[in-house]
Amino acid sequence: MESLPTTVSSKSDRRVRSSKSQNTSKPSLIMAFFSCLACLYVAGRLWQDSENRVVLNTMLTKNYDQRPKVLTVGDKLMALGCKDLERKIVESEMELTLAKSQGYLKNQKSGSSSGKKLLAVIGVYTGFGSHLRRNTFRGSWMPQGDDLRKLEERGVVIRFVIGRSPNRGDSLDRKIDEEDRARKDFLILENHEEAQDELPKKVKFFFSAAVQNWDAEFYIKVDDNIDVDLEGLINLLESRRDQGAAYIGCMKSGEVVVQEGGQWYEPEWWKFGDGKSYFRHAAGSLLILSKNLAQYININSGSLKTYAFDDTSIGSWMIGIQATYIDDNHLCCSSIRQDKVCSVA
């Protein structure tokens, strides 16, 4: 009878432990369930990413195999059949460069009223204070009025060449305009300021304006202290018609004056070397350029360097191009030759 309580107590303890075990197993099952779900989710995502990588790799491989071949310019020209065209373009560019260096311009408009090519345009330098000297020329070798028009019909144009006053539109300009309206024998350089120290620049403006206004074989610059045998000059020009790139004049050279303040002083004397001697050039009293050389000055006037004197400036421009130097003693105006075509007035 004494062991009965112990048996009852043992059963009671087993029921309590069983109840506790059931209570603790439920959370464990729930955690295990969610862990399985998480593992399935992660595995699914990894599988999906793996499939995406396979698809992407397949697409990249396919695109890489189908990419266009990188062509050189030569391959493209060959594919388009443009090799011959390329050669023609290069040849045309070379011809254009050569033509420009020789002074040629396409579609150059001529200012000659007849439309035919003239023999020569003669520009006689003059200044604001040279009215009497101009009248002297008009009464001697230079035709005027109807005779000037008839000379132009023969193919020779003569004009006094002058710029504008530093005080644009003042009485000096007005007097020149009035004289031009009456005489009609001026070439007025609107963009040039008339001054003694601007003479080297004046020659650029003269040749440019002459080329732009008249189509001629030759363009001639004459100083305002020179008398001209007009018929003798015309005959000389006629004999030179077939001479291309002609730079004609009384050729000379001489010492470069380095002393500041001296006559004929050259501020940039140091550029002429240790010998201090000018290169060969035509004297400025009367010099002649063929059409293509005058056009060269017109094209490149903005970049052509000028020196202290117009004749040496022109000579420096001729050195760098294919000009034909023609030393003609008939154009040495200060010589004692009887057959010269010019003389100092």
Tens of pLDDT, residue by residue over 87-97, are 677 767 666 66
- Cβ contact 248:328 at 8 Å: yes
Q: Residue 156: phi, psi to the nearest 5?
A: -125, 125
Q: Residue 154: phi, psi to the nearest 5?
A: -80, -10
Q: State the Cα–Cα distance between residues 250 and 245, nearest whole angstrom.
A: 16
Assess whether pLDDT exceeds 90 at residue 49.
no
Q: Which amino acid is at 241?
A: R
Task: Out of 66-75, 130-139, 243-252, 291-300, pick the least confident.
Answer: 66-75
pLDDT of residue 336: 84
What is the bridge-based pairing of β-strands 118-125 and 216-222? parallel
What is the bridge-based pairing of β-strands 186-193 and 156-164? parallel
Instruction: Provide the pLDDT confidence category of residue 1 given band limits of 50, 70 and 90.
Output: very low
What is the overall mean pLDDT for the chain? 82
- Cβ contact 221:309 at 8 Å: no
Q: State the Cα–Cα distance between residues 309 and 295, nearest whole angstrom.
A: 21
Residue 207: exposed, middle, or buried by beta-carbon count in 10 A (0-12, 13-18, 19+)?
buried
Instruction: Provide the pLDDT confidence category of residue 36 given band limits of 50, 70 and 90.
Output: confident
pLDDT tens by residue, 180-216: 999 999 999 999 999 988 999 999 999 999 999 999 9
Contact residues for 109 (Cβ-Cβ < 8 A; gap 6+): 212
- Cβ contact 234:342 at 8 Å: no
Partners of residue 246 on adjacent β-strands: 324
Task: Out of 11-15, 64-68, 178-182, 243-247, pick the least confident.
Answer: 11-15
Q: State the Cα–Cα distance between residues 122 and 287, nearest whole angstrom.
A: 10
Dig out the tokens for 57 from the structure. 């790799």
Q: What is the CATH number of domain 118-344?
A: 3.90.550
User: Which of 278, 272, 277, 261 is CA-nearest to residue 315?
Assistant: 278
Q: State the Cα–Cα distance between residues 189 and 131, nearest whole angstrom.
A: 17
Domain ranges of the chain: 74-104, 118-344
Percent of the chain with pLDDT over 90: 52
Q: Which amino acid is at 107?
A: N
Averaged pLDDT for residues 68-95? 65
Q: Residue 307: phi, psi to the nearest 5?
A: -110, -165
Q: State the Cα–Cα distance between residues 116 and 154, nearest whole angstrom.
A: 11
Averaged pLDDT for residues 30-44? 72
pLDDT of residue 39: 74
Assess whether pLDDT exceeds 70 at residue 244.
yes
pTM of the model: 0.68
Dig out the tokens for 338 from the structure. 């009887």
Residue 144: exposed, middle, or buried by beta-carbon count in 10 A (0-12, 13-18, 19+)?
middle
Angle between helices 291-300 and 310-319 (to 10 degrees): 100
Alpha helix segments (H runs only) across 190-302: 199-213, 230-239, 291-300
pLDDT of residue 100: 58
Q: State the Cα–Cα distance between residues 307 and 7, nearest whole angstrom.
A: 139
